[in-house]
Chain A
Amino acid sequence: MGMEQENEYAIEVEDLVVRYGDQTVLDGVSFQIRRGETFVILGGSGHGKSTLLRNLVGLMRPFAGRIRINGQDFTAMSDAGRMEVRKKIGMCFQGSALFNSMSLADNVALPLREHTKLKESTIDIMTRIKLELVGLGGYEDYLPAELSGGMRKRAGLARAMAMDPEIIFYDEPSAGLDPIVAAGIDMLIRKMQSTFNLTSVVVTHEMASVKLIADRVCMLRHGRILAMGTLDELAASDNPFVRQFFERRPDEDQEDRDDYLRALTGGSERTAPGPQEPEDGR
């Protein structure tokens, strides 16, 4: 770790361009995230937030641009090198992505079993601690299908923390949860950040969470960064779209109203045209 710690930034992104076929989803995104910082990515539904996270963890190779993790060029790295970097990364997926055929305990224990030579009894204890941490103590033997959506999200968080990562990515950690549980998750994110000096990258729609957890915020719109800075800086911005987002005002024209409605409903529906090419009737 020693060498890498000298680098000030945990994540550096330069001119990232991502395409799905002909559709450009991210178009020249650049930012830097400091160690121990909680960086929040805001933006309407379908504006490329999940896509950005998928690139940051290396699930997609970008069309152009560069991503550095701990100062190492992640985009140019071999698969073996990526695997090493990923041991220090945790990710909470939007849909939790738990292994459905395994119990919660096995889900959380999987990375430990794969990457460490710990004894089974030690792994057992660590698994219990992680589940306890997210308030799921006693659910060790449950299958993911036997849990509610919110519990699954928390289990995904426990699994992401299993290896005590240095960087953790959350894709809408509190979407679809009741306010109390959502606040609990926010506290958890804060706690992780303060106790382990974890670097966190959080995608969210919840302004309440943003206020609680964010050190810095960036706002994506149509695959570009619209604004970046502390929450206060953004709140003071006079960019009309930023103002609109903060004041929860719907768009004027019909098409963007659909967009806004999608954002309100958590953005699970993708029936409307993509934000990049509204004329391409998908």
Chain B
Amino acid sequence: MTALTALVGGAGRAALNQLYGVARVCVLIVDTLYWLVAAPFRGKGLRIRAAVECFVEFGYHSMPIVGLICFLIGAIMAMQASYQLARFGATQYIANLVGVAAVRELAPLMTAIILTGRSGSAIAAEIGTMKVAEEIDALDVMGVNPTKFLVVPKFLAMVAAIPCVTVLAMFIMILGGFVLSTMVLSVDVGLYIENTAGALQLKDFATGMTKSVFFAIVICWVGVYRGFQVEGGAEGVGKMTTSSVVTSIFFIIIVDLVFSALFYFAV
């Protein structure tokens, strides 16, 4: 009996905690959007310089690693595709497969996952450390809104940086497939380019870019939310940083699923 009530009570508390979490996220979202829209009307509200600095950090500095990984994934995809296609003597269609998979799915996804690890976690750690050191409280006491001061520049930077990096990732992933196919699998260069161009439509590009914008939003908000959740000391920062990566990847996959379905069935 007591075990049962404990179970029910526990489940209820967990559900309430989740609901509370959802409410907190909503507050954060509304707050960010409010300051994003309201700030420009209130004089020097938007911190453009900070946003640019973040953009360089999230976008420019992540290009080498995103490029390298995406090149390799392009090559891997080409190999895996050829594994089946070669049996039908259809290796020239590797181009179609790699191109469509890269643009519609893998380039946005890989970029988002790499940036989660690189920048989403950094956002959580930075805000968490500031919270532990009472820096957030200090901002509050000064009458500086922490959302406006910390979140909005990061949000702008992330939403600008991820689509840019994603375009690069798409290009390099296709390049990876191209290099492997033409050099190792001896597919004709002209044919490969022709097939890639033929397979890709504007719709595919739109799918990929739409996803990447929403991935950026997820990464930023999850990082910020986890950062603000930090309690206690260094241990709390570590815990929430890890948690930000896991949560973020989970929601990236959910968003990916939703938009893939949307574009598959509706467009």
Q: Is the CB of A117 within 8 A of B133?
A: no
Residue of B nearest to A102 (CB): B135
The answer to whether A100 touches B135, judged by C-beta atoms less than 8 angstroms apart, is yes
Q: Which of B85-142 contact A (CB under 8 A)?
A: 126, 129-130, 133-135, 137-138, 140-142
Tell me whether B137 and A93 are in contact (CB under 8 A).
yes
Chain A residues with CB under 8 A of B133: 95, 97, 100
Q: Is the CB of B137 within 8 A of A59?
A: yes
Can you name 15 extra interface pairs (CB under 8 A) apart from A87-B142, A100-B129?
A58-B140, A83-B145, A89-B143, A90-B141, A93-B134, A95-B133, A97-B135, A98-B138, A99-B130, A99-B138, A100-B135, A111-B143, A114-B144, A115-B143, A115-B144
- Ordered by A's residue number, 19 sampled pairs between the chains whose C-beta atoms are within 8 Å are A54-B137, A83-B143, A83-B145, A85-B143, A86-B140, A86-B142, A89-B141, A90-B141, A97-B134, A97-B137, A99-B138, A100-B129, A100-B130, A100-B135, A101-B126, A111-B142, A114-B144, A117-B43, A163-B142
Task: Report Cα–Cα, A97/B139, bound state, in Å.
Answer: 9
Minimum CB–CB distance for B72 against chain A, Å: 34
A178 on interface, CB distance cutoff 8 Å: no
Assess whether B143 is in contact with A84, with CB atoms less than 8 Å apart. Answer: yes
A110 touches B144 (CB 8 A): yes
Contacts of B138 in A (CB 8 A): 91, 93, 97-99, 159
Q: Which residues of chain B come closer than 8 Å to A99, judged between CB atoms? A: 130, 135, 138
What A residues does B143 contact at CB under 8 A? 82-87, 89, 111, 114-115
Smallest CB separation, B51 vs chain A (Å): 15
Question: What residues of chain B lie closer than 8 Å to A101, measured between beta carbons?
Answer: 126
- Whether a CB of chain A sits under 8 angstroms from the CB of B149 is yes
The interface bits of chain A over 54-75 (1 if a CB of B lies within 8 angstroms of the residue's CB, else 0) are: 1001110000000000000000
Chain B residues within an 8 Å CB radius of A84: 143
Contact flags B174-205 to A (C-beta < 8 A → 1, else 0): 00000000000000000000000000000000
Chain A residue total in the interface (Cβ 8 A)? 28
As a 0/1 sequence over residues 4 to 48 of chain B, the CB contacts with chain A under 8 angstroms (1 = contact) are 000000000000000000000000000000000000000110000
* A2 nearest CB across to chain B (Å): 21
B135 cross-chain contacts in A, Cβ below 8 A: 97-100
- For the complex, what is the distance from the CA of A101 to the CA of B50, rounded to whole Å? 12
A90 and B143 CA atoms in complex are apart in Å by 10
Give the residues in chain A near B137, CB-CB below 8 Å. 54, 59, 93, 97
Q: Considering only CB atoms and an 8 Å cut-off, how many residues of chain B contact the other chain?
A: 17
Question: Which of A91, A114, A159, A163 contacts B149, CB < 8 Å?
Answer: A114
CA distance A38 to B139 in the complex (A): 24
Please indicate the chain A residues that have their CB under 8 angstroms from the CB of B142 in the complex: 86-87, 110-111, 114, 163
Contact B43 A57 (CB under 8 A): no
Q: Which residue of A lies closest to B148 (CB)?
A: A114
Kindly list chain A residues whose C-beta atoms are within 8 Å of the C-beta of B140. 58-59, 86
Looking at the complex, which one of A59, A98, A114, A115 makes contact with B141 (CB distance below 8 Å)?
A59
Which one of B129, B135, B141 has the highest number of Cβ atoms from chain A below 10 Å of its Cβ? B141
For B44, the chain A residues whose CB sits under 8 A away are 113-114, 117
Give the docked Cα–Cα distance between A113 and B133 (Å). 22
Instruction: State which residues 93-124 of A face B: CB under 8 Å.
Output: 93, 95, 97-101, 110-111, 113-115, 117
Chain B residues near A113: list those with CB within 8 A: 44
Kindly identify which residue among B126, B141, B144 contacts A91, using a CB–CB cutoff of 8 Å.
Answer: B141
Neighbouring A residues of B130 by C-beta, 8 Å: 99-100
**A132-164: contact bitstring with B at CB < 8 Å (1 yes, 0 no)?**
000000000000000000000000000100010
Q: Which 4 A-B pairs have the closest CB atoms?
A: A86-B143, A97-B134, A97-B138, A87-B143
Question: Nearest A residue to B144 by beta-carbon distance?
Answer: A114
How many Å from the CB of A46 to the closest CB on chain B?
A: 17
Q: Mark B66-82, 1 if CB is under 8 A from A, else 0.
A: 00000000000000000
Q: Return B27 CB to nearest CB of chain A, in Å.
A: 11
With a cutoff of 8 Å between Cβ atoms, the chain B residues found around residue A85 in the complex are 143
Inter-chain contacts of A115 with B (CB < 8 A) = 143-144
Instruction: State the CA gap A59–B138 with chains docked (Å).
Output: 9
Cα separation A135 to B134 with both chains bound (whole Å): 24
Given A97-B134, A100-B133, does the pair A57, B145 have CB atoms closer than 8 Å?
no
Q: Which residues of B contact A87 (CB under 8 A)?
A: 142-143
A-facing residues in B141-166 (Cβ within 8 Å):
141-145, 149
Known: A95-B133, A97-B133, A100-B135. A57 touches B141 (CB 8 A): yes
A110 vs B135: C-alpha distance when bound (angstroms):
12
Nearest B-chain residue to A171, judged by Cβ: B134
B206 to chain A, nearest CB (A): 38
Task: Assess A86 versus B141: contact at CB under 8 Å? Given A93-B134, A100-B135.
Answer: yes
Q: Which residues of B contact A86 (CB under 8 A)?
A: 140-143
Q: In whole angstroms, how far apart are the Cα atoms of A114 and B39 in the complex? A: 12
CB distance from A157 to the nearest CB of B (A): 13
A87 to B140, CA, bound (A): 10
A111: B residues at CB distance < 8 A: 142-144
Q: Which residue of B lies closest to A101 (CB)?
A: B126
